[in-house]
Chains A and B, each alone.
Chain A
Amino acid sequence: GAVVSQHPSWVICKSGTSVKIECRSLDFQATTMFWYRQFPKQSLMLMATSNEGSKATYEQGVEKDKFLINHASLTLSTLTVTSAHPEDSSFYICSAFPSRGSHEQYFGPGTRLTVT
């Protein structure tokens, strides 16, 4: 079945530093991937849509200069949180479609980011 992986599964960084999170589709190619953020006891909120070979599309209120997205290949998208602050601490989850004909998104296991 469609498998999406993320790395790292958790990361702790100091305030002001940057951290990169990888999202990979393991058994399919994905021209589009999505990045979501989930705060404790909250649901998933879409941050941005990552498109292979082109610029990402960000949701309203999400700073594109702070959350850098690169979709360098059909199986890899990266999210870099730049100059991280404690309020960026959250659970970041990516998703992808296994095929164009299907609207089913499959999610990665998530990355827990803690900024101290």
Chain B
Amino acid sequence: EDQVTQSPEALRLQEGESSSLNCSYTVSGLRGLFWYRQDPGKGPEFLFTLYSAGEEKEKERLKATLTKKESFLHITAPKPEDSATYLCAANSNSGYALNFGKGTSLLVTP
């Protein structure tokens, strides 16, 4: 059974304190690994798609990487506005629906 597990559940950082969020996945035939940001009461906002091991993508202070078993979302010098829940999702060759992890709730304090 396909599974996506994120850790930690919650993370508190001081502004400027870099860290990484982890997403472990077990998916038969990975079509894509996705990262989304979700603010309270809002729908997920697309960040990245990664398709193959070794791939990396960057956007501002965020960088996503992918191995054969996990993905990392690296946050460099975060700011308070980066506070949100970050969701990881996997898509397998069996269809186009996304299998989401439970998310990491990130709080960045000034």
Query: Which label, helix, strand, loop or mixed, suits the secondary structure of the A interface?
Result: strand
Q: How far is the CA of A52 from the CA of B11 in the complex (A)?
A: 41
Q: How far is the CA of A109 from the CA of B44 in the complex (A)?
A: 8
Known: A49-B97, A110-B43, A112-B41. A43 touches B32 (CB 8 A): no
B75-97 contact mask (Cβ, 8 Å, vs A): 1 or 0: 00000000000010101000111
From A97, which residue of chain B is reached at the shortest CB distance? B96
Confirm or deny: B45 has a beta carbon within 8 angstroms of a beta carbon on chain A.
yes
Are A44 and B87 in touch, CB under 8 angstroms?
yes
Confirm or deny: A67 has a beta carbon within 8 angstroms of a beta carbon on chain B.
no
Q: How far is the CA of A1 from the CA of B6 in the complex (A)?
A: 28
Q: How far is the CA of A45 from the CA of B32 in the complex (A)?
A: 18
Are A106 and B87 in touch, CB under 8 angstroms?
no
Are A107 and B43 in touch, CB under 8 angstroms?
yes
Known: A32-B96, A46-B97. A110 touches B34 (CB 8 A): no
Are A107 and B36 in touch, CB under 8 angstroms?
yes
Are A42 and B97 in touch, CB under 8 angstroms?
no
Confirm or deny: B100 has a beta carbon within 8 angstroms of a beta carbon on chain A.
yes
Confirm or deny: A93 has a beta carbon within 8 angstroms of a beta carbon on chain B.
yes
Are A103 and B49 in touch, CB under 8 angstroms?
yes
Enumerate chain B residues within 8 angstroms of A110, measured Cβ to Cβ: 41-43
Known: A93-B44, A104-B49, A107-B36. A43 touches B31 (CB 8 A): no
Are B91 and A103 in touch, CB under 8 angstroms?
yes
Q: How far is the CA of A44 from the CA of B100 in the complex (A)?
A: 6
Write the residues of chain A forming the contact surface with B, with a CB cutoff of 8 angstroms. Answer: 4, 6, 32, 34, 42-46, 49, 91, 93, 95, 97, 103-110, 112
Write the residues of chain B forming the contact surface with A, with a CB cutoff of 8 angstroms. Answer: 31-32, 34, 36, 41-46, 49, 87, 89, 91, 95-103
Task: Please name 4 further chain A to chain B contacts, defined as beta carbons within 8 Å, in addition to the given A43-B100, A44-B100, A107-B45, sorted by A numbering.
Answer: A34-B96, A46-B98, A104-B34, A105-B34
